[in-house]
Every structure is written in structure tokens, then in C-alpha cells.
């Protein structure tokens, strides 16, 4: 599914096909929440682009082009709304114990940006991944295959909520990778918790839309026609799609920032509507810097990133399992 003419999926078809990337999950199925840690200790640059109207983040300003660091050692995706940002503290603790961090006069300080989804309505409203959960996910992270579906930060994720939460469908975690020209590898990992519906961009087919009382999925024109004032009032900022893309291409920060922008293109081709005031959609981009490329190869990496994000989002929904009474596609 990942393939395009001239491109092929990596051996794992996962973000870990990019050398230096490791992924670990912590999952609480009873509480329907969790966190996912992307370790990238050797990253040469990192960028971020937030386009949703209700983002929940930590330590993202450090990645801005005008600032000093512009890279990171790990990224945390977590459930639990803003409470879940605490998981990043555990990841920092794990990195500190390994001697990993940005060098300062007194100590190495790990740089660990984080972003969260709102899953408090999926399971327990008091469950969220804390410091110990982040530590556990960081310690479990590996460069092998990545578990997908209802795990980690995607444990309590749901999609297709424009007609209310009663008709929602299970979301989750998905990943993919592409091998392109000139040895460029791009991988993506997505946590899909969108208010919008999920479409296959290759066919336009509706994959996951709001369900009516009979279980039938409704297409967007019908959904918008059926929305009521009561539904509008319930459309709270409790949705978010989180995306990270990584490449082996050594890209300067200003070029990598463009890759982060283009990651949102992939999001917009699959999720409709996207980037709403009720979503906190955000995309991170990582350059692992092991492959010297031409400056113009940033265009290739960006196009590959958009496609890898499409596939990761589709897989996040297709590989999810029903949980807490919320049905899944499978």
C-alpha cells in the first residue's frame, strides 16, 4: 500500500526504517490511554508545525528556527489531554540516566517536546500517562517493528465525531516508510484522534465516517446537513491528530520545516475536515542526518513525507481494535 512508482516500503514499513529512530509504547487498556515515545538521540535537526485550533504541547518553541537548539532527543505523544504531558518528564529522566542531553555548563539537559490527544471520554476520565509511563515507554523503545492500532498514545483514540461521540469509530497508532530516489528514506508515525472522517486518498472512498443509529456510516455532505445546534455546542476541542516524520536526509532546519508543513498535506488528504478549531493537529519532522543530499532533495523528502503520513493514518484506523464499547473497523 505504501508504494508509488519508483518508491517502495522499507523492510519494516515503519518509521524505524530511518536509522537512529526507536519507538516504544506504554498502554493502559483499562483506562483507555497510553503514550508513545520516539527516541531520536542522534537527530541533527527537528521542526514542528501546529495547525489545529486546540493543540496541547510542551517544549515545542525550542524547535523554532530563530531559537538556539532546533533539535531534540525524543518526542512524546500521549493521551490524557494536558495531564498526559507529564509523561515527558519521565522520558527526560530516562535520558538523563543515559547521559543524553543538550550540553550546558552544569548538566546535559534532554530536549523532549511532547503533544497530547484528548481521550478522557474513551475510558476512565481520571486515567492518563504520567512520569513513570513515559519512563517505561522510553526504556522499551527499539528500532524494530512498531506495534500499531490500539496501543500507546492511540489506545483511547477515536475518529469521525461530527455527529457526536455516539457514532465515533476507533482510531489508533499507525506507521509507514518509503524508500525513494538517491537513497532517501522517510518514515511516519501517526496517532489519529480526529473529529473528521477518514478517506482513502487514492480512491476517495469513505473509510470511517460517523455512524447513525443503524450503524451506517454517513458521508460528509449528509453529516454537515444533519448537524444540529446541539451538536455544534458539543463540538469541544477534544480531538487531535499527531504526526511525526523522520528522514535519513541531512536537511538544514529551514528545509526540514518545509517537510513538517508537507506532512500536514498528507493529513489533509485523509482526514476531512482537518485542522478545525476542535482539533489540535500537529506535525513534527526529524532529520537524522546520515545521508548527505542536495538542497533540492528537500522537495523529494517532503513529497515522500506527505504520502507516508497518508498511509500511517489509514493504518492507524484499520489496525485499531474495539475498546471501551467503541467499535473498530476490523
pLDDT in tens, the chain (330 residues): 454 555 799 999 999 999 999 999 999 999 999 999 999 999 999 999 999 999 999 999 999 989 889 999 999 999 999 999 999 999 999 999 999 999 999 999 999 999 999 999 888 889 999 999 999 999 999 999 999 999 999 999 999 998 888 889 999 999 999 999 999 999 999 999 999 999 999 999 999 998 877 778 888 888 888 777 656 655 677 889 999 999 999 999 999 999 999 999 999 999 999 999 889 999 999 999 999 999 999 999 999 999 999 999 999 999 999 998 899 997
Q: Which of 311, 303, 229 is nearest to 262 (CA)?
A: 303
* Domains of the chain, residue spans: 15-318
**Distance between CA atoms of 219 and 277, rounded to whole angstroms?**
21
Helices (H) and strands (E) in the chain, counts: 6, 17
Rounded to whole angstroms, how far apart are CA atoms 316 and 240? 13
Q: Which CATH number fits domain 15-318: 3.30.450.20, 2.40.50.100, 3.60.70.12, 3.30.70.1290?
A: 3.60.70.12
Residue owning grid cell 493502559: 28
Is residue 311 exposed (0-12), middle (13-18) or buried (19+ Cβ within 10 Å)?
buried
What pTM was computed for the model? 0.94
The Cα 129–Cα 237 span in angstroms is 20
Reported as a single tens digit per residue, the pLDDT across 109-125 is 999 999 999 999 888 88
Q: Is 12 exposed, middle or buried (0-12, 13-18, 19+ CB in 10 A)?
A: middle
CA dist 236 and 233 (Å) reads 7
Amino acid at each position: 500500500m505504501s508504494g508509488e512508482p519508483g518508491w517502495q516500503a522499507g523492510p519494516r514499513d515503519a518509521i524505524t526504517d530511518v536509522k537512529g529512530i526507536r519507538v516504544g509504547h506504554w498502554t493502559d487498556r483499562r483506562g483507555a490511554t497510553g503514550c508513545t515515545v520516539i527516541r531520536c538521540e542522534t537527530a541533527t535537526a527537528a521542526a514542528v508545525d501546529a495547525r489545529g485550533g486546540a493543540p496541547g504541547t510542551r517544549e515545542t518553541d525550542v524547535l523554532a528556527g530563530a531559537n538556539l537548539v532546533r533539535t531534540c532527543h525524543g518526542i512524546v505523544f500521549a493521551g490524557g489531554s494536558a495531564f498526559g504531558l507529564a509523561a515527558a518528564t519521565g522520558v527526560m529522566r530516562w535520558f538523563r540516566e543515559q547521559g543524553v542531553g543538550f550540553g550546558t555548563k552544569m548538566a546535559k539537559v534532554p530536549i523532549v517536546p511532547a503533544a497530547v490527544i484528548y481521550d478522557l471520554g474513551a475510558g476512565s476520565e481520571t486515567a492518563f500517562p504520567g512520569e513513570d509511563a513515559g519512563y517505561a515507554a522510553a526504556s522499551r523503545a527499539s528500532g524494530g517493528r512498531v506495534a500499531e492500532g490500539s496501543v500507546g498514545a492511540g489506545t483511547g483514540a477515536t475518529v469521525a465525531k461530527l455527529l457526536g461521540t455516539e457514532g465515533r469509530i476507533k482510531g489508533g497508532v499507525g506507521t509507514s516508510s518509503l524508500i525513494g530516489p538517491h537513497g532517501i528514506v522517510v518514515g511516519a508515525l501517526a496517532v489519529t484522534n480526529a473529529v473528521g472522517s477518514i478517506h482513502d486518498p487514492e480512491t476517495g472512498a469513505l473509510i470511517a465516517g460517523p455512524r447513525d443509529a443503524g450503524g451506517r456510516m454517513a458521508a460528509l455532505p449528509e453529516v454537515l446537513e444533519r448537524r444540529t445546534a446541539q451538536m455544534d455546542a458539543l463540538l469541544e476541542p477534544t480531538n487531535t491528530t499527531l504526526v511525526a516524520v523522520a528522514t535519513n536526509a541531512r536537511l538544514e532546519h529551514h528545509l526540514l520545516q518545509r517537510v513538517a508543513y508537507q506532512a500536514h498535506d498528507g493529513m489533509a488528504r485523509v482526514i476531512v475536515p482537518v485542522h478545525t478549531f476542535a482539533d489540535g493537529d500537529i506535525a513534527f519532522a526529524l532529520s537524522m542526518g546520515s545521508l548527505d543530499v542536495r538542497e533540492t532533495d528537500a522537495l523529494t523528502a517532503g513529497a515522500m513525507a506527505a504520502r507516508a503520513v497518508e498511509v500511517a493514518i489509514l493504518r492507524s484506523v484499520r489496525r485499531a481494535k474495539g475498546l471501551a464499547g467503541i467499535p473498530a473497523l476490523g
